[in-house]
Amino acid sequence: MDISEFIDPEKGLIRGEIFHNKEIYDQELEQVFARSWCFLAHDSMIPDSGDFIQNYIGEDPVLVVRQKDGSVKAFLNQCRHRGMRICRAERGNTSNFMCSFHGWNYGLDGEVIHIPHEKEIYDNLDPEVFRATQVRLANYKGFIFGTWDETVADFEEYMGDFAWYFDAYIDRFEGGMEVVGVHKWVLPANWKFNAEQPASDMYHGEVSHASAFQVMMPISEEDGAPPPWVMQQLGVLSEPAGFQFSAPNGHGTGWFKGGMPLMDETIMNWHQSTREEVSERLGEERFDLAGHANIFPNFMMLSNYTFRVTHPRGPDEMEIWAWSMAPKNASAEVKDAIRLDILRTFSPAGMFEQDDAVNWEEEQRIMRGHMARQKPLIYQQMIGQARYDADGLPGKTVDHVYAEEAARGMYQHYADLMSGKPWPELEKIKKAREQKERDEIAARASPAPKTAAGGGQ
Amino acid sequence: MNKPTRVPHLFRRPEQLAPADVPMETAYQLEQFLYAEAELLDAWQFNDWLALMAPDVHYWAPVRENRLAREAEQEMYPPGTAAHFDENFKMLGQRVARLYTHMSWSESPASRTRHLISNVRAHVTDNPDEFRVQSSFHVYRTSSERHQDSVIGRRYDLLRRADNDYGFQIADRTVVFDMSMLLVKNLSSFY
């Protein structure tokens, strides 16, 4: 199905059909999820030999397993015999995986190690045929991503300039991150409604989350007013400034100048105390650079150390799998403050998250309508304002924290993948597109004289 | 976090499985208290509900997971790890205040809930004014035009006699939802 008529990134117009149509959804599983790098696990989720967790690439369940030699392997959690789920636990430790249908037994690496009555009933076992379908893996600073696609670029190249921004979330501290909590829940909405938000939408916060800001703001017991440090944090919201970044492969991030407002005093004090360490590690310019982000298609994060995937479950349903993380070397007090802050904000009972759910539910519900899918939705904030490598920021950015450059980038890349063109061709298209945009920006900055050959612009 | 401290499975603790041992009149008072609490929640009297919490209350709801049979004892995350609620009195107060901002969009317009409480069983403790009370709940919710869902589970409370209209305060509550992955869009009520 040609979906190009629904997406016009240059004009910032996107029709709701892409959130509603079952045929488009099925095409996403093949063209988007099966051809992208998807988040599967963090090293701290599977520290010891035999530790495993199950995750998904799209609708395909994947077992991610720590091997005896300390490496990680991942394979489709589907028995090669009749397609039964090999392992039915979400997490655990084991020496092997036995399918409970006919008893085929798989090693930690997905190789078949035992088939009942094998000698009597099979001529030969070709490991190429019998092994569980393997996932191509990459480990970026403890974050494990997987893809089925052999032609997509290596993970770091796939991230491109976004790696520099990603580090501002996950590589701030010696020792890296560890998991301190997890939540999984189901929402009646398309996965992209969630994904585009951490990619590109700081704008919704002041209205969607107004109630949470109001009640979580600490107030002094003496006069009932917020103490000065709180007023300083909230000041970021009253005069919003910052940047948004958009990557050719659909990743996006945005952040406030001065950093995300913090409402928990323990976390705020700790955060400020890390300025020197983080600045030494990443450069001072990246201390405040974390806000919201998405690695296309569906690995999202916020500066408060919540990380999530939205697994697609049909055009009108997603599963949100969210992990709370904390710097491994932070004090127990700080880690617990981070854990509590996330569960009270961005979990299904969280005071921010509850309200996001309603937005996405209603958006989805309305897309059932005919007229609701005719006029395109408007993704035009800061359109035509992109610059490259400006203000010390690698790649394409716009100079406002409220923008939709990253959403346009996300849906441009989505449309590229959905075209079905192979990765090598897409890479050429993206390079040419970027060059054209860079040339146009350069031409605007120093217009050619009208008398020049070709009449200038 | 992969190796949580093993805690006895919440559902299988001998003291909770033991026959109820409070006098009939006490059992009646405890049940009536839980019904009154449910009614306050369904009536959107959240400040009155909050007043039923002891100042030292701990309101906690652990996350659960599908585990291998031999790891079944680890299916609930222990205290200090993954939880849906992990609140003290002040934190609950923030959640209540949010509902009255008229900008808590998940509950504005408000959902309609019915807290059905059953299977109440109570045990005495070393303190004559405190009782361990278990109860099952079914919270049915409708919202917007046609959203509906149910959240079902069991609560493990420590109820303390108190000088208030309803006779008790909630000193401790553990809420165990009967879902691992939550099949609801959010947990915007109290349970």
Cβ distance of B83 and A351 shorter than 8 Å: no
Give which of B5, B82, B52 is closest to A348, Cα–Cα. B82
Cβ(A256)–Cβ(A402) below 8 Å: no
Locus of tokens 């490598």? A389
Assigned domain for A151 exists: no
* Residues of chain A found within 8 Å of residue B94, distances taken between Cβ atoms: 215-216, 351
Assigned domain for A6 exists: no
Assigned domain for A63 exists: yes
> What ranges do the domains of chain B cover?
15-177
Name the pLDDT band for B7 (thresholds 50, 70, 90).
Answer: low
Name the pLDDT band for A234 (thresholds 50, 70, 90).
Answer: confident
Same domain, A258 and A186: yes
For residues A61 and B35, what is the distance between their CA atoms, to the nearest angstrom?
43
- The confidence score (pLDDT) of residue B181 equals 97
- The confidence score (pLDDT) of residue A451 equals 59
Name the pLDDT band for A386 (thresholds 50, 70, 90).
Answer: very high
Locus of tokens 């063209």? A31
Closest approach of chain A CAs to the CA of B50, in angstroms?
A: 15
Same domain, A380 and A328: yes
Closest approach of chain B CAs to the CA of A46, in angstroms?
A: 7
Name the pLDDT band for A124 (thresholds 50, 70, 90).
Answer: confident
- The confidence score (pLDDT) of residue A92 equals 97
Same domain, A125 and A164: no
Same domain, A63 and A182: no
**3-state SS record for chain A:** CCCHHHEECCCCEECCHHHHCHHHHHHHHHHCHHHCCEEEEEHHHCCCCCEEEEEEECCEEEEEEECCCCCEEEEECCCCCCCCCCCCCCEEECCCEECCCCCCEECCCCCEEECCCHHHHCCCCCHHHHCCCECEEEEECCEEEEECCCCCCCHHHHHCCHHHHHHHHHCCCCCCEEEEEEEEEEECCCHHHHHHHHHHCCCCHHHHCHHHHHHHCCCCCCCCCCCHHHHHHHHHHHCCCEEEEECCCCCEEEEECCCCCCCCHHHHHHHHHCHHHHHHHHCHHHCCCCCEEEECCCEEEECCCEEEEEEECCCCCEEEEEEEEEECCCCHHHHHHHHHHHHHHCCCCCCCHHHHHHHHHHHHHHCCCCHHHCCCEECCCCCCCCEECCCCCCCEEECCCCCCHHHHHHHHHHHHHHCCCCHHHHHHHHHHHHHHHHHHHHHHHCCCCCCCHHHCC
Same domain, A177 and A318: yes
Give which of A169, A163, A161, A173 is closest to A140, Cα–Cα. A163
- The confidence score (pLDDT) of residue B54 equals 98
Same domain, A125 and A166: no
Same domain, A128 and A69: yes
Q: Does A258 touch chain B (CB under 8 A)?
A: no
Question: In sequence order, what DSSP letters do the residues of B106-156 get, joined into one string?
Answer: GGSSPPEEEEEEEEEEEEE-SSTTEEEEEEEEEEEEEETTTEEEEEEEEEE
User: Which residue in chain B has the smallest CA separation from A343?
Assistant: B84
pLDDT in tens, A89-112: 999 999 999 999 999 999 999 999
Same domain, A65 and A181: no
Structural domain harbouring A311: 160-418
Same domain, A209 and A60: no
Of B94, B103, B186, the CB nearest to A353: B186
- The confidence score (pLDDT) of residue B12 equals 82
Among the residue ranges A139-153, B30-44, B67-81, the one predicted with the least confidence is B67-81
- The confidence score (pLDDT) of residue B10 equals 77
Query: For a pLDDT cut of 70, what percent of chain B falls above it?
Result: 96
Averaged pLDDT for residues A251-266: 95
pLDDT in tens, B167-178: 999 999 999 999
Of A51, A185, A215, the CB nearest to B184: A185
For residues B168 and B161, what is the distance between their CA atoms, to the nearest angstrom?
4
Predicted confidence (pLDDT) at residue A457 exceeds the cutoff of 70: no
The CATH number given to B15-177 is 3.10.450.50
Assigned domain for A146 exists: no
Q: Is B22 exposed, middle or buried (0-12, 13-18, 19+ CB in 10 A)?
A: middle
Predicted confidence (pLDDT) at residue B4 exceeds the cutoff of 70: no
Same domain, A130 and A171: no
Same domain, A255 and A353: yes
Assigned domain for A234 exists: yes
- The confidence score (pLDDT) of residue A2 equals 97
pLDDT in tens, B97-131: 999 999 999 999 999 999 999 999 999 999 999 99
Q: Does A336 touch chain B (CB under 8 A)?
A: yes
Closest approach of chain B CAs to the CA of A443, in angstroms?
A: 46
Residue to substitute from A206, A230, A331, A354, interface B, most B β-carbons within 10 A: A354
Predicted confidence (pLDDT) at residue A447 exceeds the cutoff of 80: no
Of B1, B66, B94, the CB nearest to A215: B94
pLDDT in tens, A263-286: 999 999 999 999 999 999 999 999
Domains held by chain A: number:
2
Assigned domain for A428 exists: no
pLDDT in tens, A316-366: 999 999 999 999 999 999 999 999 999 999 999 999 999 999 999 999 999
Rg of chain A (C-alpha set): 24
Query: For a pLDDT cut of 90, what percent of chain A falls above it?
Result: 91
Assigned domain for A208 exists: yes
Same domain, A210 and A99: no
For residues B189 and B104, what is the distance between their CA atoms, to the nearest angstrom?
12
What angle is formed at CA A143 by the lines to CA A140 and CA A146, rounded to 5 degrees? 85
Predicted confidence (pLDDT) at residue B2 exceeds the cutoff of 50: no
| Domain of residue A48, CATH code | 2.102.10.10
* Residues of chain A found within 8 Å of residue B147, distances taken between Cβ atoms: 188, 361
Predicted confidence (pLDDT) at residue A455 exceeds the cutoff of 50: no
Predicted confidence (pLDDT) at residue A119 exceeds the cutoff of 50: yes
Which residue, A109, A140, A171, sits at the end of a domain? Answer: A140
Assigned domain for A147 exists: no
* Residues of chain A found within 8 Å of residue B104, distances taken between Cβ atoms: 211-212, 351, 354-355
